Amino acid sequence: MKTILVTGGTGFLGSNLCSRLVNDGNKVICVDNNYTGCMDNVKSLINNPNFSFIKHDVCDELDINEPIDQIYNLACPASPPCYQGKASIKTTKTCVLGAVNALELAKRKNAVILQTSTSEIYGEPLVHPQTEDYRGNVNPIGIRSCYDEGKRCAESLFFNYHRYEGVDIKLVRIFNTYGPHMQTNDGRVISNFICQALSGRNITIYGDGYQTRSFCYVDDLIEALIRMMNSEKSFTGPINLGNPSEITIKELAQTIVDKIGNEAKVIYKSLPSDDPTRRKPDITLAKEKLGWEPKTSLSEGLDKTIEYFRSLL
Ligand code: NAD
Ligand code: UDP
């Protein structure tokens, strides 16, 4: 049995990860300030003796009075409406100070630490699909930069703690992931479209809808995180994790409308600035190093996610 700390453990990915780790027989310590996460996401775990929750802001130093084998660092809002605007400064602090505090803890505990970086570090990509050696095209002063540059700085911190402090790191770059435990008001495209269609509201496409994303179902992504954490010590990443099947936002809207089958009307709103035009991971490295590729098709993943939101609404 390993003792595993998950920051951001009440969020969408974090809560799915905590469940999987507890079910696999580990002891899990979940650390979160519940900014975009919630206790409902971990309600099936809260009475489990192998699960504990600490309400804590990762911008403050983190101390734990027991040995820790592994740390997954997920704390950070991931939805543009949640990380931008008034939250921007806090987002950068969470990325940077949160990384420092998690890395210091890993150093003290001699724990392996995995950072959840993001496809956003590629910005508006000039290389398509994106490979790990592409250095990105980020607007450092744009409205997304609080997140993009915060995550880029965290990558730098991870590699410098590895080089100069001997910390055992794993760095993953996650591409758009969706599924149960996203919040109904999360603001990301799949949760928005499904909740809008289920409640008979207009489906809001930003821009012309010809921008693309590649969506990965959460169970596939969690499997990849665990494989990466337990990969050979010398393998640090960065490694892209996501589903390479690319779709326009317009096609996504139509797919969801067709599945939910009501008369939802699609309306067009302005495109937020610096919204990437296209995004698709090259996952050759993940296939080679982790023997991993996504198994869940978009159709199957959407069905499960629609069922989840139907049960909530
Ligand atoms: P989420 O917003 O659902 O979860 C983030 C969690 O972090 C929440 O529980 C939130 O309360 C917590 N948190 C935020 N600021 C905190 C702070 N200062 N102190 C303590 N806890 C804090 O987002 P998610 O989709 O689950 O993303 C998890 C991680 O994965 C994030 O780091 C995100 O950048 C990364 N990621 C996710 C995706 C995706 O598509 N879901 C893609 C790329 C990267
Ligand atoms: N989007 C949209 N309608 C919405 C929410 C998002 O058209 O209600 C678009 C958004 O502009 C972006 C894409 O869908 O082009 C993915 O948005 P999301 O916020 O889910 O992820 P990210 O932009 O971070 O990849």
Tens digits of residue pLDDT in 181-190: 999 999 999 9
Is 147 an annotated catalytic residue?
Answer: yes
Statement: residue 263 has pLDDT above 90: no
Tell me the CA distances in angstroms from 25 to 21, 46, 49, 144, one per residue in order: 7, 15, 11, 38
Q: How far apart are CA 171 and CA 167, in angstroms?
A: 12
CATH of 3-178+217-242+280-294, one of 3.10.450.50, 3.40.50.720, 3.40.50.300, 2.60.40.10: 3.40.50.720
Hunting for tokens 């003792």 — which residue is that?
Answer: 3
Query: Measured over all CA atoms, what is the biggest interatomic distance in the chain, rounded to whole angstroms?
Result: 58
The answer for 252, left when phi > 0, alpha when psi is -120 to 50, beta otherwise, is alpha
Does the pLDDT value for residue 264 go beyond 90?
A: no
pLDDT band at 295 (very low <50, low <70, confident <90, very high): very high
Q: Is 11 in the pocket of ligand 1 (CB under 6 A)?
A: yes
Tokens representing residue 295 in the block: 């198994």
Do the beta carbons of residue 209 and residue 248 sit within 8 Å? yes
Q: Kindly report the average pLDDT of the chain as a whole number.
A: 97
pLDDT at position 16, please?
Answer: 98
pLDDT digits (tens, 9 = 90+) for 26-35: 999 999 999 9
What angle, 0 to 180 degrees and rounded to 10, lies between the N-to-C axes of helices 12-23 and 218-229?
60
Per-residue pLDDT, averaged over 59-74, amounts to: 97
Does residue 12 line the site of ligand 1, with CB under 6 A?
yes
**205: CA distance to ligand 2 center in Å?**
8
Give me ligand 1 centre to Cα 164, in Å: 27
Which residues, including other chains, have CB under 8 Å from residue 113's CB and lie 6 or more apart? Answer: 70, 71, 72, 73, 102, 103, 106, 158, 167, 168, 169, 170
CA 227 to chain centre: 16
Residue extents of the structural domains in the chain: 3-178+217-242+280-294
